[in-house]
Amino acid sequence: MAVLNPSCVITGPSRTPRWGQHLRIDLGGLDSTLAISRDNRLPRAAVVVTLAAQELMRLSKGGDKLQNILVVGSQVDPTLHPGFREISENMRALRDKWFPRAKLNLMTNFEVLDDAEVRVALGFYNNSVVRLECGTVKTFKALTGRKTTHLGEIVSQLATLDRVIVRANFVRGKVDNSTEAEINGWIRRLRDVKPEEIQITSPPPRHRKGQPQGISKTRMQEIVDQLTEEIGATITMLEHEDEVA
């Protein structure tokens, strides 16, 4: 009989400036010992729920505090897990039972554009944290490899949701999503989405060779100032620990 190993699904608790004391539940790790099938190496829904239940109960009974629970996908977007709705519903129930004051947050690239089951599952989360960091379809395709039409579809879908947090990572190099044209286009899309919060970050300006380069502090502040003037949402500049969370 296989032994359930929490480390294949659960990371933490750990603390970052934005998320405080939090626990990460990974639905997108591949090569799990208890995978769905030989062809689908994502962890079974029952494994995820069981491990989460055991860990949340242990932490609660031990007197630990959690401010946030993050449902993530390290290698595959969590919304692509075939048991996403089942897991989401159970995570909400577990949160309500053991840490009712904690926020349940979904970290996603929103790769499933129009799926009824996914839309139902989104309702179990306090926030959906979605990457949206391009103003033009050309840059969107260059950064994500997805069809150019997906950018408009993502914005249209996000505009119908409540409690959206937009996350953007600004880079320079072969692809630059920090130009004036990109930021103006990005802000136009943000007006349609109407996010509750906008989280922005950038890697170090002099990153490793071959890696995307970060933007300057001056340019970052210019973006913050423009957002403050044009968008009515909370703006958070993420620390590196929050970006990888």
- The Cα–Cα gap between 50 and 86 comes to 12
Average pLDDT of the segment spanning 206-217: 76
pTM over 0.75: yes
94-151 residue pLDDT tens? 999 999 999 999 999 887 767 889 999 999 999 999 999 999 999 999 998 989 999 9
How many other CB atoms sit within 10 Å of the CB of residue 84? 25
Note whether 152 and 159 are within 8 A (CB). Answer: no
Closest CA to 92 of 81, 82, 103, 83: 103
- The Cα–Cα gap between 165 and 103 comes to 13
Least confident of 45-49, 73-77, 119-123, 237-241: 237-241
Closest CA to 92 of 146, 25, 137, 4: 25
